[in-house]
Structure 1
Amino acid sequence: MILSWLIEKRSKLAVIGLGYVGLPVALGFARKLPVIGFDINEERIRMMQLGLDPANEMSPDDFLDADITFTSDAKDLSEASVFIIAVPTPVDEHNVPDITLLIKASATVGAVIKKGDYVIYESTVYPGCTEDDCVPVIEQVSGFTMGEDFKVGYSPERINPGDKIHTFENVIKVVAGCDDEAAKNIAAIYSLVVKAGVHVTSNIKVAEAAKVIENTQRDVNIALMNELAIIFDRLGVNTYEVLEAAGTKWNFLSFKPGLVGGHCIGVDPYYLTYKAAELGFNSRVILSGRYVNDNMGNYIVKKILQHVIANNSNVKDAHVLIMGATFKENVSDVRNSKVADVVRELKKYHLNVDVYDPRANADHIEEQYTFTLIDKPAKIYDAIIVAVAHQEFMELDEAYFLAISKPNALIADLKGCYRNKIKQRKYWSL
């Protein structure tokens, strides 16, 4: 019945939180159903009303033919019968899960929910969070009871910023419900727009756990590559050449070393280890991987500092250029960017640091970190760190680096993009 109401436009679907996850979800559904897009950030709402994505992930064409109303007024949510919550779930400075926005979103929905409505969570959480932490808030605010008065489900987001192939519609959607009826209806709702199909789990905890281990697995594997890179550096062999050779075996997994930031890989494992600790289990493998990845910035700075000290009589006169400030290539997202760790550590040693990124939003950088972006490299640098493999950087040749670096400069190519291409400067990669 809930699906027919939506299709017949007797009710609407609401998406709460219109960031990197919520906006593509909202626009995806808006091509099939009437949608309310809700966000507390009024400036973001104004931009989306003009057909602009503040994150520059969706194009103006994606807004065309979309039956969607953007609003920051929570009262407008009363027109909906299905609520998808897709707000950020970061960790705090102690790497403890921060579900503040999730709880606030639950209260917002609780204030407008009606009997028979559905609430679906897409935010990354630890197993048990939806039913143990979020549902009680809805019940308290609304006076309703889950299962009897309203249904709840969980469908973890799989949005990959910068990826135009693995989009919302083209990736299998994991779904779960508080009971069989809820799971069936939620699966039917997503099946309207997700062409790749849905995978229904037996309960909500399974779906929550599936989400956190997807990125935990990647985190642990990248940590192994980072540790190997440190070992291979001491052996004097190139990590990427070793990986190429090992990759000729059919069952070798392709992971690369590098800075691990962003809102997924660098965060999700802490949600799992937090819950494990709550249950009396101290994770060793997962936290060891987090330790390795969180300390790669320090390792990189050590390599830069060693070079600068060996080639400069006064370290304070040295200039370092960092190319790339986002958490990954070809996106504008700077959340939890580990490049910030590198900048901070370099400045501790009084080095002059310039950061250049043609994709990052300078205002976002200034809001979140203690440095600013330069418009373009304008000095002759003692060291250049290529931290992010943006397409703009991949088009550069050795002549570019020669023009902006001293003869004894170091080119630190963290992603191995210029291997065998830099001949007239000292070259180093992870």
Structure 2
Amino acid sequence: MSNKLKDILDKKGPIKNIGVVGMGYVGIPAAMLFANSPAFDHVYGFQRNSKSSGYKIDMLNRGESPLKGEEPGLEDLIKKVVQANKFKCISDFSKISELDAVTLSIQTPFKNPKDLIPDFSALTEGITLVGKYIKEGSLVVLESTITPGTTNSMARQILEKESGMKAGVDFALAHAPERVMVSRLLKNIQEHDRVIGGIDDISTKRAIELYSPVLTKGKVIPMTATAAEVTKTAENTFRDLQIAAANELALYCEAMGINFYEVRAGIDSLKGEGITRAILWPGAGVGGHCLTKDTYHLERGVKTNGGKLDYLQEEESLFVLARHINDFMPKHMFNLTIAALERVGETPKDANIAMLGWAFLKNSDDARNTPSEYYRDLMLSVGAKVKVHDPYVREYPGVDISHDLNEVISGSDAIAIFTGHDVYMDMVRTANNIKRLMGKYNPIIIDGRNIVNPDEYIEAGFIYKGIGRGDKNSHSIVNL
């Protein structure tokens, strides 16, 4: 602990002006909540003025949200803080020199999960820019999910090199991982407990000062920076594991000809003292920026922090195996589609496939690492023709996204449901109307999100296949 840093912060006074680097699903809502707090005077959102994302600057400064999924309260909050002159989005990073605290919310994907080498290029660029402009007494907080040990090693080294100062002596440094889910961003930031880990006690206390004003129900959980990094990677790894357990059980139920959802209800019914059940739902795959990579950050942390792991010899990590199971689910959707086509004597070559949903999460426009892409690639590889519909995703590199649901369904041989958007919940209740649009005697529907009523579709003449529906996947074909 440095008395010098404490003296600097005491002289500097409370945090008033904040910068948020990275205007995405994490940075935008965080910046708006900081700006809306009476504890702070002004917030700057820092966004590179690039071809791919520079448009966000003007949108935010007009009080508009670049996020096009359903985010309750976000658009109104953006308008409010912009009109109150408490928020501005800029690309001039030199403004950081005038701020008391800077947070970084930048993606940290993996180039290749097999070699456990993350792509920290965007994060290191952001840290470098911050390091160039921070002043004595600044607080720097990494919100990005990172390999355990990164804050106190790579991030610290870059900041010290660029600033010419020492972390924990001249400026404060901490990790406070985001814990949000798309479609409930504001709610999550305010109501979830906030894990805050500084490189020392003074840094932790300064970061607590930053985040406490935006918490409503959530409380602060202080710890070391590395413990905070492990907490974030582990909580996402555990959720991925829980989903994988549901997915594998669903595959078992299919193989045994029973209904996963009946089994799940039975498991979930056991209540009582000392009994914990956390069985989640199976589905067409896991997407997004977090769950698809955080297992690998956790695995890498074990390998890069110098400790010796006492574990089963020559056995794969349970967490990595879970990741592989979830990665397999789009392939399972492909296998179900091929099996359904075979039931009506068809091959995938030249089959017309209507994919419903490109975003990985319902009522969201977030298509990062979407499982839909793997399925589409598989169908195209066997000669199928694929059309994609999503009401929220406006565009995606190399993929035409239609917003006309009827046009995508019309003339298709098979429908594959990948996302549980509300618009699909309404659509799938009308089997006969969908059959007329498809124009097939025995059209196919592959339900990856347990949306449709199998009996209704089977009775209408459909070939039905659903994840976890072993009781229905081999049904008799109804010829009307």
2:65 corresponds to 1:37 = no
Percent identical pairs in the alignment equals: 27
Give the C-alpha shift of residue 312 in structure 1. Answer: 4.0
> Equivalent residue for 1:373?
401
Partner of 1:255: 280
* Aligned mates of 1:109, 1:165 — CA distance in 2: 25
Q: 1:332 to 1:159 in 2, by over 3 A?
A: same
Query: Which residue of structure 2 lines up, in the alignment, with residue 110 of structure 1?
Result: 131
Higher normalized contact order (CA 8 Å, seq sep 6+, divided by chain length) = 2
Q: Which is greater in Rg?
A: 2
Q: Which residue of 1 aligns with 2:260?
A: 239
Query: What are the superposed Cα offsets for residues 233-288 of structure 1, whole Å, 9 maximum, x if unpaired?
Result: 11111222221222212233230112111111111111111222445658510111
Q: Match for 1:198 among 211, 215, 219?
A: 219
Measure the CA separation in 2 of the matches of 1:101 and 1:129. Answer: 14
Q: Which moved further from structure 2: 268-277 or 306-315?
A: 306-315
* 1:123 partnered with 2:144: yes
Choose from 243, 259, 264 the match for 2:290. 264
- Preserved contact between residue 175 and residue 198 of structure 1 (Cα < 8 Å): no
Distance 1:28 1:313 in 2: 54
Deviates more, 1:272-281 or 1:127-136: 272-281
Q: CA deviation at 1:29?
A: 0.3
How many residue pairs are counted as aligned between the two chains?
Answer: 423
Structure 2: any 5+ residue segments left out of the alignment?
A: 1-7, 310-314, 468-480
Match of 1:75 in 2: 94
The structure-2 alpha-carbon separation of the partners of 1:191 and 1:8, relative to structure 1 and needing over 3 Å to count, comes to closer
Are the equivalent residues in 1 in contact too, given 2:141–2:176 (CA < 8 A)?
yes
CA–CA separation in structure 2 for the residues paired with 1:8 and 1:306: 61
Displacement of 1:5 in angstroms is 6.1
1:81-92 paired onto structure 2 within 5 Å: 81-92=100-111
What are the ranges of 5 or more consecutive residues in structure 1 without an aligned counterpart? none
Partner of 1:390: 421
Distance 2:111 2:13 in 1: 38
SS at match of 2:443: strand
CA, structure 1 residues 195+313, in 2 after alignment: closer, same or farther (shift >3 Å)?
closer
Residue type at the aligned position of 2:282: P
In the alignment, which residue of structure 2 is the partner of 1:351?
384
1:429 to 453, 461, 466: 466
State the alpha-carbon separation in 2 of the partners of residues 164 and 30 from structure 1.
Answer: 15
Q: Compute the TM-score of the two structures, normalised by the length of structure 2.
A: 0.83
Deviations 1:189-247 (A, max 9, x none): 21111112433333111111000111100111111111112121111112222212222
In structure 2, the partner of 1:61 is 76
**1:194-343 map, 5 Å:** 194-250=215-271, 251-258=276-283, 259-278=285-304, 279=306, 281=309, 284-313=317-346, 315-343=348-376
Using a 3 Å threshold, how does the CA distance of structure 1 residues 106 and 314 change in structure 2: closer, same or farther?
closer
Using the TM superposition, give the Cα deviation of residue 165 of structure 1 relative to its aligned residue in structure 2, in angstroms: 7.3
What SS is found at the alignment partner of 2:413?
A: strand
2:400 partner letter: T
Q: Distance in 1 between matches of 2:350 and 2:10?
A: 66
Q: Distance in 2 between the 1:85 and 1:164 partners?
A: 17
Question: What letter is aligned with 1:417?
Answer: I
CA contact (8 A) 1:187 1:200 kept: no
Task: For residue 93 of structure 1, report the CA deviation from its aligned partner.
Answer: 3.9
Question: Separation in 2 of the partners of 1:4 and 1:408?
Answer: 76
| CA–CA separation in structure 2 for the residues paired with 1:140 and 1:412 | 55
**Closer/same/farther in 2, CA of residues 224 and 313 from structure 1, 3 Å limit:** closer
Query: Offset at 1:359?
Result: 1.2
Farther off after superposition, 141-150 or 241-250: 241-250
